[in-house]
Structure 1
Amino acid sequence: MIDINVLAKPLLDLLSSFGSGVLPTGGPSDALNSTSTVLDQLHQLSRNSINQMNVAWDGVAADAATSKALRVQTSTATISDRGTEMATVVDQAAAQVETGQKDLNGIVQSFLTQASSLGPAIATPQGFTVLVGSAIDHLNQGLSVVNRTQTELNTETQSMNSLTPPPSTSLASMPSNLTSGLTSGVNSGVSGLLGLASGAGSMVSTVGQSLNTASSAKTTPAASKSSTGTSATPSNTDTAKSTSSDGTGVKITLPDGSTVEAPNEKAATAVKSALGAVGTPYVWGGNSPGSGIDCSGLTKYAYGEAGVELPRLAQEQHIGHPQVSPGDLMPGDLAVWDGHVAMVVGNGQLVEAGDPVSVSSIRTENIGMEFYGFYRPTE
């Protein structure tokens, strides 16, 4: 009498070693999401602190402190976003393992059902041949699931690795308990993904040996099915849609490598256009990056590229949302004086037409001119 359990053992071993894909409470995904939540709260507190500081303090020193605080604020937002994205990658990997486990379980049950359906015929030479052929076919199906899952996990590992480079602002500026929590979560997430992929590779090798052994009972085993999983990889483009709650923000990668969020497409287009003019020589009354430009000509040109019309004179460009507070600044906001204007690009910086057009730290002082305030032309 043939022992069905002997033929089913390679499949059962594969199933038992595959893992469930169920993440424990407090695991890498929860740790990353928890840290991102704390960072979001810190970001809100920093906005209030920057605004309070600017009410109580002004001048060159205050501008320098504001610029530094805004850079840390950008770093906080970047780390929070990465933590959330990493948690998503971990969750996707876990879901792929869980799906693989369910598929393998179905394959095991399918083999056992087919074996039982043979009934007494299982003891005949013909029944034995059918049973061994079924075992080999189901092992091939199991290997296909393992290979698919390994490919998916390798993709998720690459996605995780692309999220691990540090932001442009040093993490030394961040509270140690927050950075250590995020780092721990990142390391756990990466290690977990690599471990799952490595485990899948080991299963391929082990079950492959079982398949080769079983193949000796049948000269023409069934062909293995192939399947390739897909997973979204974080975009590396200069501009990407934000996942902000209102759904209108647009993320921009600045020349310094930092990622900032403009309030909308028009502001993002204006910032990219202004940054594209960096290096243009100053020409009083100039309106074009190709032939020279002045301060209000730069902002008028940049917003014109976005379909927003601004007045020509610098002191008249205080339009849109009035008096944006320093802690609430976003890329595309204008810093307006009584004889000068510059555009905020984010991460504590602005772009302006000096000689040439260049990027510098954000400020409210400008050779004794009266500062009108920060304005958002798109609101």
Structure 2
Amino acid sequence: MIDLSGLTQPLLDLLSSFGTGVLGTGGASDGLRSTSTNLDQIYELGRNAINNVNTAWDGMAVDAATSKALRVQTSSATLSDTGNEMATVLDQAAAYVETGQKDLDAVVNSFLSDVSALSPTLGTPVGLAAVVSSAIDHIGQGLGVVSRVQDELSTQTASIQELTPAPSSTSLASASSGASNLASSASSLLSGTGGSVLSAVSSGLSSALSSTSSGSKSATNGTTNNGGKTSTGSGSSSGSSTGSDGTGVKITLPDGSTVEAPNEEAATAVRSAISAVGTPYVWGGNSPGSGIDCSGLTKYAYGEAGVELPRLAQEQHIGHPQVSPGDLMPGDLAVWDGHVAMVVGNGQLVEAGDPVSISSIRTENSGMEFYGFYRPTA
């Protein structure tokens, strides 16, 4: 008589090692989202502090502090968005494992049903052949489920790897430590839900996450200023940000950082202005690449976006209400009585000097009266 338990055992072992994929309350993804919520609160406090400082004082020292604070804000908000995105990836990975476990359970029950149906013939060669054939078929189905889930988790691992660029330890040491802890949590999560069957995928995910604590990019790179939320990434792709109302458009700056403009018009204007970097200053000039002045640059850039601006710098204070320093987004204009520059994000602006260049945000310009920051597309 054939050992039926021996035929069933491989399926049972596969099922028991696979895990359920069900995440308990307070697990890795909950921890990530909780941390992101705390970072959002810190960001809001920082935004208010920037605005309060600029309300109470002005001058070069405040400008320098504001520029630095905006960069720190960008870094903290980047961590917040990255945490939420990682939590979503972990939840999806757990869902794949949970579905796989249910599918494996169905395979086991199907085999047991076959055995029950064939039980009257198990004493015959035909019955024994049928049950062995069924066992082989169901083990194949089980391995197919495992292979499918491994492929699905490989996709999640790739998603995690896309989120790995992190601020350097010199600017955010505690953030690096937090990333290392997240790596450990993620590894525990997947190894707990997948067992030895998914150990390779779990190891890959852990490795990807662990690299966030030793990333080589600086705090000003790989980040996105979303006017309150940020994203990481590279390239010049554009689209909605998970940290905004869905209307933002991403832009990659020359320094490698990714920022988010409030809309397509502002994004186009920023790209156009950046394309003119290196152009010599020519008073009254309107030609990127050959010669341009400050208001000529901003008028040209917004003209490329289909937004008409007045020609004189001091008349380009359009778009209301006036934007506070802590709420600046790419495309906003810094307007003086005689000069204008465009905010590009991450504490920087582009302006026509000699030549057109990108520098830190400021409100001081050769003693000119500063009118404020304005958003032409508001």
Q: How high is the TM-score relative to the length of structure 1?
A: 0.86
Residue in 2 that maps onto 1:378: 377
Residue in 2 that maps onto 1:52: 52
1:189 matched to 2:186? The reply is yes
Cα deviation for residue 241 of structure 1 reads 1.4
Residue in 1 that maps onto 2:197: 200
Relative to structure 1, the CA distance from residue 365 to residue 87 in structure 2 (aligned partners, 3 Å threshold; closer, same or farther) is: same
Residue in 1 that maps onto 2:228: none
Cα distance in structure 1, aligned partners of 2:159 and 2:200: 23
> Alpha-carbon deviations, 1:69-98, whole Å to 9, x = none?
111111111111111111111111111111
Cα deviation for residue 184 of structure 1 reads 1.5
1:305 matched to 2:301? The reply is no
Query: Which secondary structure does the structure 1 equivalent of 2:146 belong to?
Result: helix
1:36 matched to 2:36? The reply is yes
Cα distance in structure 2, aligned partners of 1:83 and 1:316: 42
Larger radius of gyration: 1
Relative to structure 1, the CA distance from residue 194 to residue 282 in structure 2 (aligned partners, 3 Å threshold; closer, same or farther) is: farther
RMSD (Å) for aligned C-alpha atoms: 2.2
After the TM superposition, which segments of 4 or more aligned residues of structure 1 sit over 6 Å from their partners? Answer: 194-198
Relative to structure 1, the CA distance from residue 108 to residue 269 in structure 2 (aligned partners, 3 Å threshold; closer, same or farther) is: same
Matching residue's letter, 2:373: F
Cα deviation for residue 259 of structure 1 reads 2.8
Q: Is the 8 A contact 1:335 1:375 kept in 2?
A: yes
Residue in 2 that maps onto 1:82: 82
Cα distance in structure 2, aligned partners of 1:200 and 1:277: 55
Describe how 1:246-261 pairs up with structure 2 within 5 A. 246-261=245-260
Cα distance in structure 2, aligned partners of 1:258 and 1:151: 31
Cα deviation for residue 31 of structure 1 reads 1.2
> Alpha-carbon deviations, 1:101-121, whole Å to 9, x = none?
111111111111111111311
Q: Percent identity?
A: 72
Relative to structure 1, the CA distance from residue 202 to residue 268 in structure 2 (aligned partners, 3 Å threshold; closer, same or farther) is: closer
- Number of residue equivalences: 347
Residue in 2 that maps onto 1:223: none
Q: Which range moved further: 84-93 or 278-287?
A: 278-287
Describe how 1:1-379 pairs up with structure 2 within 5 A. 1-167=1-167, 170=168, 172-174=170-172, 176=174, 180-190=177-187, 192-193=189-190, 199-200=196-197, 236-238=234-236, 239-379=238-378
Matching residue's letter, 1:108: V
Q: Is the 8 A contact 1:296 1:340 kept in 2?
A: yes
Cα distance in structure 2, aligned partners of 1:191 and 1:182: 14
Cα distance in structure 1, aligned partners of 2:241 and 2:5: 54
Cα distance in structure 2, aligned partners of 1:202 and 1:270: 48
Matching residue's letter, 1:252: I
Cα distance in structure 2, aligned partners of 1:286 and 1:191: 61
Cα deviation for residue 193 of structure 1 reads 4.4
Query: Which secondary structure does the structure 2 equivalent of 1:373 belong to?
Result: strand
Cα distance in structure 2, aligned partners of 1:131 and 1:203: 33
Q: How high is the TM-score relative to the length of structure 2?
A: 0.86
Relative to structure 1, the CA distance from residue 203 to residue 120 in structure 2 (aligned partners, 3 Å threshold; closer, same or farther) is: farther
Relative to structure 1, the CA distance from residue 186 to residue 53 in structure 2 (aligned partners, 3 Å threshold; closer, same or farther) is: farther
Where in structure 2 are there 5+ consecutive unaligned residues?
Answer: 202-231
Cα deviation for residue 294 of structure 1 reads 1.2
Matching residue's letter, 2:279: T
Relative to structure 1, the CA distance from residue 334 to residue 351 in structure 2 (aligned partners, 3 Å threshold; closer, same or farther) is: same
Cα deviation for residue 327 of structure 1 reads 0.7
Cα deviation for residue 198 of structure 1 reads 7.9
Cα deviation for residue 321 of structure 1 reads 1.9
Q: Is the 8 A contact 1:118 1:127 kept in 2?
A: yes
